[in-house]
């Protein structure tokens, strides 16, 4: 991978920063862009970005993917070997509240990226999709399943973007790896994710709010595993879709709270509320295809991952609380 020039969109995000770090360690030239104006805490974004700016083979551009003019200026300046497109509005519940924002960022923004790629003849795209497209299906989820029944606008925008990617693959020969991520977690993660909020609430003695009875389960995927899978997806595959998940789907929210209690040494006060119709009751990835074609599989078990999250929180909570 040495000497390859790769554009990473959403580089100050949770997955973007970890992916960029792996590319930089492999001597790639990484051009990162991020709008720095999404719903994440700005301090957390700056924390991630500061670690990337220590590398001489990294450069950063504050650009919104909805700004086609700025994107074209960037593509004209560099000859990209590949694009890893991670920039997006994320989160199921928020998409129901702000549907227009999700539409413009996730669909129009992705279209802008695809247009620049075909115009400047960039032949490889890794696109970040989501397990949310599988809503309503039985677990475990397979890439070949029909995913035409999204129950959130977030899932709708990601599915529409997958289809646009296929169109540009068909029309212009762009090689596309679609990655459907499953509940990514880890240190320095998104503040809106349940594990991040649960850790802080339990530590501060605040009630832990759960929508449902806590028996709903998620295929939790550790951030380093996901970033490694994202880099491996730079392989030429034509057009293909890959599940990247923990591969088991046996961990409930109640069990996650038990682990956090254990590592914090504090007891949680749990408040159960009505289940939200926009939420999925279970996610579970079949990852056989990623194992076979990308030579990827997760390495970090859930207990270790949660322990790492709690330790990171305790080491940084002086500024996280702000």
**Active site members:** 154
Alpha-carbon gap, residue 160 to 175, rounded angstroms: 18
| Contact between 62 and 93 (Cβ < 8 Å) | no
Phi and psi at residue 290, to the nearest 5°? -65, -35
Name the residue with tokens 């970890």.
18
Task: Please choose, from the candidates 177, 305, 319, the residue with its C-alpha nearest in 3D space to the C-alpha of residue 240.
Answer: 177
| Contact between 132 and 150 (Cβ < 8 Å) | yes
Cα 117 from chain centre: 21
């Amino acid at each position: 991978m040495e000497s390859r020039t790769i554009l990473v969109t959403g580089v100050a995000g949770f997955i973007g920063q970890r992916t960029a770090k792996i590319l930089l360690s492999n001597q790639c030239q990484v051009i990162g862009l991020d709008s720095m104006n999404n719903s994440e805490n700005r301090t957390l974004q700056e924390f991630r970005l500061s670690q990337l700016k220590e590398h001489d083979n990294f450069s950063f551009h504050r650009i919104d993917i909805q700004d086609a003019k700025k994107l074209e200026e960037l593509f004209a300046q560099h000859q990209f070997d590949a694009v890893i497109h991670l920039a997006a509005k994320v989160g199921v519940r928020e998409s129901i509240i702000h549907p227009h924002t999700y539409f413009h960022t996730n669909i129009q923004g992705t279209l802008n990226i695809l247009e620049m790629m075909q115009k400047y003849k960039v032949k490889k795209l890794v696109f970040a999709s989501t397990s949310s497209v599988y809503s309503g299906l039985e677990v475990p989820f397979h890439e070949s399943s029909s995913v035409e029944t999204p129950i959130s606008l977030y899932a709708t925008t990601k599915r529409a973007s997958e289809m646009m990617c296929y169109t540009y693959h068909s029309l212009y020969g762009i090689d596309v790896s679609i990655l459907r991520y499953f509940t990514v977690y880890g240190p320095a993660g998104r503040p809106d994710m349940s594990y991040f909020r649960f850790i802080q609430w339990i530590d501060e003695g605040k009630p832990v709010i759960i929508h449902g009875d806590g028996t709903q389960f998620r295929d939790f995927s550790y951030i380093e595993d996901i970033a490694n899978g994202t880099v491996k997806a730079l392989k030429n595959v034509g057009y293909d879709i890959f599940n990247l998940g923990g591969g088991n789907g046996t961990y409930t929210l109640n069990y996650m709270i038990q682990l956090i209690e254990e590592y914090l040494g504090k007891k949680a006060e749990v408040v159960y509320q009505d289940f939200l119709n926009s939420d999925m009751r279970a996610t579970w990835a079949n990852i056989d295809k990623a194992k076979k074609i990308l030579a990827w599989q997760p390495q970090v078990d859930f207990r270790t991952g949660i322990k790492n999250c709690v330790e990171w929180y305790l080491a940084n909570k002086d500024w996280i609380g702000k």
